[in-house]
Structure 1
């Protein structure tokens, strides 16, 4: 599967953001539950533009995370409706941009727009590419029985099943123990 580099990067960001939710996080707690944790998370993703570092921004980003997590459970028609709604709500106007050493990519909001709005629009644009490319099946829930994490399978053969190596190793160990018990 091949998508534009900015689409892949945004999808990876969306997965990382979605998996900070307590139901999906490695720690079992909200990994961006404080303004400081959100700031640390954004450093890892080099998010550009306005960042307020306040409680209102955190609340909006947490709501955006919930919206993004729900996208993984929608069929194509419902995803189209949700994506179009995200773009319309923001008054998105896609345009090419290049900054901070990045190649040409799409932006559809002003860099001074609120962080949560910019996240929603960037994720919506990435979903536009996924839907248009017919690869919605590459957006999956983790196959681990006890995990509600999400993943995007960017592998060539489309065989990724787990949101992390940790989940894959845990499920492989469970399967190994079950086979050993039967033997």
Structure 2
């Protein structure tokens, strides 16, 4: 494992949110989709599961994408700003089936604020480990999504198997034409 479990989970959740759409079945497709997404990533604390919360989380996508794709120095500025605005106070917590991990915001604060702080805290680990290269844009020509590469050999280039397969088929067809 490259990072602590909570860091990896926060990064994966942030990438999924940044890459999501409002389509049904997507993490931000509906209130029910958001609730299922949050349960799958073990988000704790206050969850209102209403239209206001869904819209607030949807509005996070550009900021999450900007942070996840930023150069290291820019990411530092963004993270520091996010943590300062939230008045984050990192503390060790243990709940549910999870061992000690960091929380930096009161669990009763709105979900969108908690997502921002958890993502910022995860990025602190990425920045300190000088592992910004683990985050990049999808290598597919027609995709602008974020890729999180947690593989040992740093080989992940596509945001999903769909993009990877589409590029492989296109390359195969191009070779066949030649």
Q: Is the 8 A contact 1:153 1:160 kept in 2?
A: yes
Helix, strand or coil for the counterpart of 2:147?
Answer: strand
Q: Which runs of 5+ in 1 are unaligned?
A: none
Aligned to 2:19: 19
Aligned partner of 2:108 among 105, 112, 134: 112
Spell out, residue by residue over 1:129-175, the C-alpha distance to the aligned partner (whole angstroms, 9 max, x if none). Answer: 00000000110111011111111110111111001111111101100
In 2 relative to 1, CA 28–140 (structure 1 residues): closer, same or farther, beyond 3 Å? farther
Q: Relative contact order: is structure 1 or structure 2 higher (C-alpha 8 Å, sep ≥ 6)?
A: 1
In 2 relative to 1, CA 38–104 (structure 1 residues): closer, same or farther, beyond 3 Å? same
What is the root-mean-square deviation of aligned Cα atoms in Å?
A: 1.8
User: What's the TM-score once normalised by structure 1's chain length?
Assistant: 0.90
Q: CA deviation at 1:110?
A: 0.9
Aligned partner of 2:170 among 151, 154, 174: 174
Q: How many residues are paired up?
A: 178
User: What's the TM-score once normalised by structure 2's chain length?
Assistant: 0.93
1:75-86 equivalences in 2 (<5 Å) = 75-86=71-82
Between the aligned partners of 2:36 and 2:46, the Cα distance in structure 1 is: 15
Q: Which runs of 5+ in 2 are unaligned?
A: none
Q: Is the 8 A contact 2:69 2:135 kept in 1?
A: no
Q: Is the 8 A contact 1:21 1:29 kept in 2?
A: no
Aligned to 1:138: 134
